[in-house]
Amino acid sequence: MSSSSSSKHDIYNNARFEQIACAGLSQKYDGSADNLIPTLNLIHIRRLNEVWGAATYFLHNGVQVDLIHHFSKVSLQDVKQKVAVAWNALDAVVNRHTRGTALYKSRLFGLFLMNSLTPEFAALLCSRLDSQYSLDGQLIFITL
Q: What's the rounded Cα separation, in Å, for the pair 137 and 55?
A: 7
Contact 141, 81 (CB under 8 A): no
* The predicted structure's pLDDT at residue 103: 93
Residue 98 pLDDT greater than 90, yes or no: no
Q: How confident is the model at residue 5 (pLDDT cuts 50, 70, 90)?
A: very low
Structurally, the chain folds into a number of domains equal to: 1
Range of the structural domain that residue 127 is part of: 3-143
Q: What's the rounded Cα separation, in Å, for the pair 83 and 87?
A: 6
Q: How confident is the model at residue 22 (pLDDT cuts 50, 70, 90)?
A: confident
> Per-residue pLDDT averaged across 17-32, rounded?
89
Q: Give the ranges where 1-144 is alpha helix by DSSP (H).
A: 3-21, 33-47, 67-70, 76-88, 92-95, 102-115, 119-127, 137-143
Q: What's the rounded Cα separation, in Å, for the pair 21 and 51?
A: 7
Q: How confident is the model at residue 27 (pLDDT cuts 50, 70, 90)?
A: very high
pTM score, whole prediction: 0.87
- In this structure, what DSSP letter does residue 58 have? E
